[in-house]
Amino acid sequence: MAQYDHIIVGGGVAGMTSALILAKQGSRIALVEAFPLLAPTIRGFKRKGVQFDTGLHYVGGLGDGHPLDIYFKHLGIADHITQKPYDHNGFDDFIVQKSGKHYSIPCDFSELTTRLNEWFPEEKNAIQHYVSAIKTTLEESPFLNFAQDFDLEKALHSESDTLQNFLDAITDNETLKAVLSYQNILYGVPPTEALFDTHAQVAGTYHLSAHTIEGGGLALTKAYERRLKKLGVHIICNDRVESVEINDARQVQGVTLQSGKALEAPSCIWTAHPRGLIEATPDSAFRPAFKKRLATLEDTASGLMLFGISDTPVAELDGRNIISWPGTSFEKNLSGRVSPAESVIYISAALDPHSGKTAVTAIIPAAFETFAQWADSKLGKRPEEYKQFKASVLDSFEKEIYRRMPELKGSVTFIDGATPLTIRDYCATPTGSLYGLRHSIDQFNPAPVTKAQGLTLAGQSIVAPGILGAIVSAYLTCGIIIGHELLHKELRQFA
Ligand SMILES: Cc1cc2nc3c(=O)[nH]c(=O)nc-3n(C[C@H](O)[C@H](O)[C@H](O)COP(=O)(O)OP(=O)(O)OC[C@H]3O[C@@H](n4cnc5c(N)ncnc54)[C@H](O)[C@@H]3O)c2cc1C
């Protein structure tokens, strides 16, 4: 039987990061991914010769010396990717449909303050309060500021209020509140339920710097693959972990794969969606209450996606995203239960260096339930009724894009689309959620350490959402295994 020090379940960003951290220490690692290739969430796909991004459009904190840059340097992948900055003066164009007003959101906290003061001159105190609270949260986070002494308790528990309560306490101006909340779409939880700390960590890192990677998620995946191979990680794709073997003393023994292959190790890091543990672990490993809790934890919404091609660069999307907001509540929007006409629309574009064309992706939140009647169908084998429904919702979505942004008509041609079922099946998550489990005030997501000896959890559902959240979770979990002091000492060398 193949023997390892650690088996990592899931070859997404969190799994690949965990594998590199532990392999750097000389451990023998098996990285198991159910999909035929690593990182199905971010590696994107090709249509009509054009490469499209899926789960990586832009990231915060990748500028020189910023947290994501430091992580990539520590992992040994920084030299294999080329950072591509978004427009520092306006990386997101937040458009309020009702007023037609554009809020072009800059990086840099002092520029952000200046811009907000110009837009909302009566609200200078509120703006100052918001910006300084975001900065303080970043400075105090041991995962975003490596000069901090590491404090596990602080890393795992937030005592912050909701974003909504924070905003209500500083201003009555609803438009300002919307401008300060639009980044909720980057983690899928509305201000009424989002923790201020989560918001600050997501929004704040984009105000440090906003980038994509030349060649997109595929280029990042290739950089990881290269390094994983170099460090001798045993990569097993196209075979899912069916069960984590845990003995009666609640100690991990290894895993069994769908192919029947068995891998032996005293340690297993589960980075797949936490709900997968219900089926994959023996009942004796956990108290029934734990599995019951896993079953009831709520996911962030999934999405409807449209993929388009433009032969020429799209000026409106050059170095920036468009977030078009119709004024409907963020609760309704992020539930994914609104029609395209009532929905926030996110649009992003990336130049495909090989074809020279621009790949345009538009996303709106969408509830899995809307497609649940076809939940038993598989990719490429969906029934006709589903196909018709998909075509009709994507058609409404496309019409809504052209209605709001007529300037895109004629330049961008949408050629394909995805529903929550597509996303579920590519990313192997239960409901195709864009950001895994909700990080919200009323939900306690599972901690990285479980009651089973040697079974730890990582991934965007555990501590924080998004690419950076998945990486932070890997550092947190690997720090628990090999020591936070050691990891932070290493990280500080790149800071
Ligand atoms: C449409 C979309 C757009 C996004 N845009 C952005 C963005 O612009 N910026 C950003 O920061 N974030 C974005 N995100 C979120 C980001 O992609 C995720 O946060 C990140 O990729 C999650 O990484 P992960 O490793 O935690 O999880 P995953 O990528 O889900 O990795 C888990 C892996 O486990 C595998 N798996 C599942 N079960 C098993 C099993 N039993 N055995 C073996 N393998 C298994 C899955 O196939 C999967 O590859 C987006 C997500 C989506 C879906």
Residues with CB under 6 A from ligand 1: 9-15, 32-35, 40-42, 54-59, 240-241, 271-272, 276, 303, 363, 423, 427-429, 434-435, 459-460, 465-470
Burial 238-268 (b: 16+ CB within 10 A, else e): ebbbeebbbeeebebbbbbbeeeeebebebb
**Confidence band for 157, pLDDT divided at 50, 70 and 90:** confident
In the reported structure, the alpha carbon of residue 437 is separated from the centroid of ligand 1 by a whole-number distance in angstroms of 12
Q: Is the pLDDT of residue 210 over 90?
A: yes
CA distance linking residue 263 with residue 260, whole number of Å: 10
Write down the pLDDT at residue 147.
87
Task: Choose which residue among 35, 43, 56 to substitute to test ligand 1 binding: the one with the highest number of ligand atoms within 8 A of its C-beta.
Answer: 56
pLDDT score recorded for residue 148: 80
* pLDDT tens-digit readout, 220-240: 999 999 999 999 999 999 999
Q: What percent of the chain has pLDDT over 90?
A: 95
Query: Ligand 1, closest atom to CA 10?
Result: 34
CB atoms within 10 A of CB 73: 17
Chain centroid to CA 283: how far?
30
What is this structure's pTM?
A: 0.97
Return the ligand 1 atom nearest residue 39 CA. Answer: 49
Closest CA to 436 of 480, 466, 395, 406: 466
Per residue in 20-42, pLDDT (tens digit) is: 999 999 999 999 999 999 999 99
At residue 60, the pLDDT reads 98
Q: What is the per-residue pLDDT across 281-307, written as a single tens digit (0 to 9) for each? A: 999 999 999 999 999 999 999 999 999
* Confidence class for position 214, pLDDT limits 50, 70, 90: very high
Closest-CA residue, ligand 1 atom 28, reads: 12
In ligand 1, the atom with minimum distance to the C-alpha of 14 is 25
CATH architecture type of domain 2-83+214-297+439-492: 3-Layer(bba) Sandwich (3.50)
Count of C-beta atoms within a 10 Å radius of residue 474: 31
pLDDT-derived band of residue 206, with 50, 70 and 90 as boundaries?
very high
State pLDDT tens for residues 133-154: 999 999 999 999 998 888 877 7
Mean pLDDT of the chain: 96
Q: How far is the CA of 467 from the centre of ligand 1 (A)?
A: 8
The average pLDDT across 339-343 equals 96
Q: Where exactly does CATH 3.50.50.60 map onto the chain? A: 2-83+214-297+439-492
pLDDT in tens, 169-187: 999 999 999 999 999 999 9
Residue 280: count other Cβ atoms within 10 Å of its Cβ. 21
Q: How far is the CA of 190 from the centre of ligand 1 (A)?
A: 21
For ligand 1, atom 3, the nearest C-alpha belongs to 55
In this prediction, residue 78 has a pLDDT band, given cuts at 50, 70 and 90, of: very high
For the CA of 217, the nearest atom of ligand 1: 17
Q: What's the pLDDT at 152?
A: 79
- The answer on pLDDT for 158 being more than 80 is no
CB 91 within 8 A of CB 321: yes
Report the C-alpha dihedral over residues 331, 334, 337, 338, rounded to 10 degrees: 80
pLDDT tens for residues 408-436? 998 999 999 999 999 999 999 999 999 99
